[in-house]
Structure 1
Amino acid sequence: MTYEKWIDVTKGIGILLVILGHNDFDQSFLTVIHTFNMPLFFYISGYLFHYKKYKLNPNNFIFQKFKRLVVPYFVTNIIILCTFTLLFFFKMNSFNGNSPVKYLIGVFYGNGAPLNPPTIYTNLLSVPSWFLLGLFCASLILYLLTDSHEKYGLAFSSFLCFLVILFGFRISKYILLPWSFDIACVSMIFMFSGYLVNYYKINWLYNNFKSNLYNSICILLLFIVISINGAVDMNTRTYSNLFFFSIAGLLGTYITIEFAKKISKKESLLMKIFAYFGKNSILILLYHTFIPIVILDTTNNFCNIREIISHSPILYSLTMLVSSIVTIIIIKRLPFLDRIYF
């Protein structure tokens, strides 16, 4: 499959929404972002998945996903743990009363929740990194679903997908499974949809008039559904009504993709910026919360910028973004880490 420019642009928009979503903006704004920012990434992953590529060699598929998702997860968390330990030694950082061993339990359990209050099974070193382990599990589930689609057709695989989603939704009310496996099950709403859209080459738009009309209707429907369903968050398993959560996630994903496609028609500066962020979205996801903390901790004894930045969501978002760009540049110059992340 020819890699389409809009895919990187979409991921770039998505990762910027993730950064904004991890700041203290107005709750209504955060509700809109959380409705579709993670569903968007699951959808794109499903859209890019090709069963036939790995049909004869599932072990290679597992290996590639493990290398791409699981290895960066553990490497990043080890780096963060070592950094915080060093800062703690020099009294520049606090482990909040927890020992490194307790943090490691959270890392290996692989959950970004619960957060209020967190437990020993919550990865507090890098809360956003739950997505990598969740996506790894989701990729394995999608492989099984696409295998059933290939062998038994759309009706059977769709029913199987429904059962998987229902299992993830129900079990999350009682226990948060390791490696966010329950989220991986629920994510099939978006991953399997993305796979089917690409598999059947579904394209609803025929001209600019219909495109603008559909987009306007979708935006209106999105806000209606959000107002009905309320706040959602895949990490904390806050779905409210599963049907409305699914509809809002798919609508937000569709709107973002259409916006990305419009941007991608021209080689503009905006397109290049979004594409750059999209190509480096995993690195940004992993480091955008960690690096600003290190910066503020290490500079706290010299200048009082913490109070200024931490109380301004816009400034803190910019700090996250700029520090992420610097991190990308540095990692690309380090051969070992470059091989891990790229």
Structure 2
Amino acid sequence: MIQNKKRIKIFDVAKGISIILMTMSRYPFLETYPTLISFQNVAIIFKMPTFIFISGYLLSDRLDFKSFFYHKVDGLIKPLIGFLFSLTLLNIILYLVTSDRIILHDILQYILNLPRSFFHGSFDVVNVSFWFITALFLGQICLKGFLVISNLKKPFNYLLLSIFFIVLLILNAIKTKFYWSEYIPSFFTYLFLGYGFKKISLRFFNGTSFFYNKKMILFPILFLISYVTLYELNFDVDLNLAGLHFNYHYLLILSLFGVFTIIYLCSFIEKIPILNSVLVYCSKASFFILAYHIFIKDVFSTMFDLETYNPLLHTFLFFLNIVLCCLIYMLLKRVTIVRLLFYPLKTIELKDIEIKLLKSKYISRIIPKEISLA
């Protein structure tokens, strides 16, 4: 089942940087360091858009909508379910270890949070970072649907496209929180821009070689000039997709300058073997970092002071957190059968017992043929 697709490392490096920057804001010690806060205020403009833009650039044209949908369920929603159950168990264990008085009612609340989360369409009580995985899934499905409709060679497709954009406008206006549907318009925008730029670059700029062009230096210059100018003119430059602080004019343009700036810097980072390897691995383990970094931070908070000024300790704990998340990604992939819940089937070299399980009478019924074993 494992596929040996050639990865575009410059994008893996950029996604690795993006995911690391996303986790930084979760630490209580952030407020202790003014320089770090200033850096975060700038990084927030591009850290999340970079990941989404690249995901759009890498979106596959090979699959039809049905196959694409099932592959995204296998690659995003299935691991999300695995994360939900594993974190529920881990949170119960942490409660049992750290509490002076263990109450059965409290343990039951952890368990009941799962069905409540599915009912209310939000997993914040388990992990507030899970909104990103769901929003990315919905955005990618919407983009694929848009592309399918656009390729229909019938007059009816104009009506469908009109309905599609009306729905996006409604979602953008009402900000429905159910399963993070409120994020679909902004995520669709960055995914579409990433996918669209891929088509443009393949046609006019010789594909990914564009990102290694010396003219890419224009983007960090444009980003700095734009940021300073907007700031001096008292424009609000606090783009925050998580907080729905986003617009379709100057913040969008500014963030795109930031995205291309990060990719430009990654063309140099790629030449540093150790740093390149670390960031590429963080990219591969990105959803594990999202899933477990808050729990690990909570464990650290029971052992260390995360608020009092202590830069050496806080820096060590931050990077240790990333390392531990990557170790979970690496080690869990070796756990036979259990790993089927956390990793896309196409990325696993299946063992005989796993093949038998997947081909069993009841399991095979719930695995779509688009992602099932040959």
Q: Residues 127-138 of structure 1: matches in 2 within 5 Å?
A: 127-138=128-139
Say which of 286, 292, 295 aligns to 1:287: 292
TM-score (norm 2): 0.73
Distance between the aligned counterparts of 2:211 and 2:22, measured in 1?
A: 31
Q: Which residue of 2 aligns with 1:79?
A: 86
C-alpha contact (below 8 Å) 1:110/1:130 kept by paired residues: no
Q: CA deviation at 1:267?
A: 6.1
Q: Which residue of 2 aligns with 1:221?
A: 226
Q: CA deviation at 1:310?
A: 9.0
Q: Which residue of 2 aligns with 1:277?
A: 282
Q: Which moved more, 1:59-68 or 1:311-320?
A: 311-320
Q: Residues 96-107 of structure 1: matches in 2 within 5 Å?
A: 99-100=109-110, 103-104=113-114, 107=117
Say which of 35, 38, 43 aligns to 1:33: 43
Q: CA deviation at 1:339?
A: 3.1
Note closer, same or farther for the CA distance 1:308–1:233 as it changes in structure 2 (3 Å cut): closer
Specify the code of the residue in structure 2 equivalent to 1:7: F
Q: Which moved more, 1:80-89 or 1:21-30?
A: 21-30
**Identical residues among aligned pairs (%):** 20
Specify the code of the residue in structure 1 equivalent to 2:169: L
Distance between the aligned counterparts of 2:255 and 2:47, measured in 1?
A: 8
Say which of 209, 212, 216 aligns to 2:217: 212
Computed over aligned residues only, the root mean square deviation of the Cα atoms, in angstroms, reads: 3.5
Q: Which residue of 2 aligns with 1:261?
A: 267
C-alpha contact (below 8 Å) 1:43/1:193 kept by paired residues: yes
Q: Residues 57-136 of structure 1: matches in 2 within 5 Å?
A: 58-92=65-99, 99-100=109-110, 103-104=113-114, 107-108=117-118, 121=122, 123-136=124-137
1:248 aligns with 2:291: no
Distance between the aligned counterparts of 2:161 and 2:50, measured in 1?
A: 20
Q: Which residue of 2 aligns with 1:139?
A: 140
Note closer, same or farther for the CA distance 1:337–1:32 as it changes in structure 2 (3 Å cut): farther
Q: Which residue of 2 aligns with 1:114?
A: none
How big is each residue's C-alpha offset from its partner over 1:46-72, in whole Å with a ceiling of 9 and x where there is no partner? Answer: 111123x123xx322211111111111
Note closer, same or farther for the CA distance 1:38–1:110 as it changes in structure 2 (3 Å cut): farther
Q: Which residue of 1 aligns with 2:21?
A: 17
TM-score (norm 1): 0.79
C-alpha contact (below 8 Å) 1:44/1:191 kept by paired residues: yes
For these two proteins, the number of residue pairs brought into alignment is 318
Distance between the aligned counterparts of 1:102 and 1:50, measured in 2?
A: 38
- Tell me, which stretches of 5 or more residues in structure 2 are unaligned? 344-374
1:187 aligns with 2:198: no
Distance between the aligned counterparts of 1:145 and 1:74, measured in 2?
A: 27
Q: Which residue of 1 aligns with 2:12?
A: 8
Q: CA deviation at 1:262?
A: 3.2
Specify the code of the residue in structure 1 equivalent to 2:90: T
- Tell me, which stretches of 5 or more residues in structure 1 are unaligned? 112-120
Specify the code of the residue in structure 1 equivalent to 2:235: I
Distance between the aligned counterparts of 1:19 and 1:251, measured in 2?
A: 22
Note closer, same or farther for the CA distance 1:336–1:129 as it changes in structure 2 (3 Å cut): farther
